[in-house]
Amino acid sequence: MSTATYTVKGMTCGHCVSSVKEEVGEVAGVTSVDVDLKSGRLTVVSDGPVNEAEISGAVKEAGYELVGVS
C-alpha cells in the first residue's frame, strides 16, 4: 500500500472537492482519496505507487491544478 499527498490549487467549495475525489478515484490502483478544501491537500492511497502524471491529469480533468507534492 502506498500513500501520496499533493496540493491542489483552485478549489473553492464542496462541489470542487467532490469533483477531484471522483476523478482521482478513477485512476487505476487508487483505493482511497481524501481532499481537504481549506488546505488544498489531496491524499491518495493506492495498491502501489501511482504515476504522478496520472494524478495530475485526473485533477486537471476535474478542472483544477496540481501544484505540489508533499
Per-residue model confidence as pLDDT tens digits over 23-57: 999 999 999 999 999 999 999 999 998 999 999 99
Q: Which residue's entry shows cell 481537504?
A: 36
Please enumerate in sequence order all residues whose Cβ is within 8 A of that of 13, keeping only pairs 6 or more positions apart, or say none.
Answer: 37
Instruction: Give the number of C-alpha atoms closer than 13 A to the C-alpha of residue 34, restricted to the C-beta side.
Output: 9
Full set of structural domains in the chain with CATH: 2-69 (3.30.70.100)
pLDDT at residue 70 in the model? 74
Q: Which three cell numbers stand for residue 44?
A: 491518495
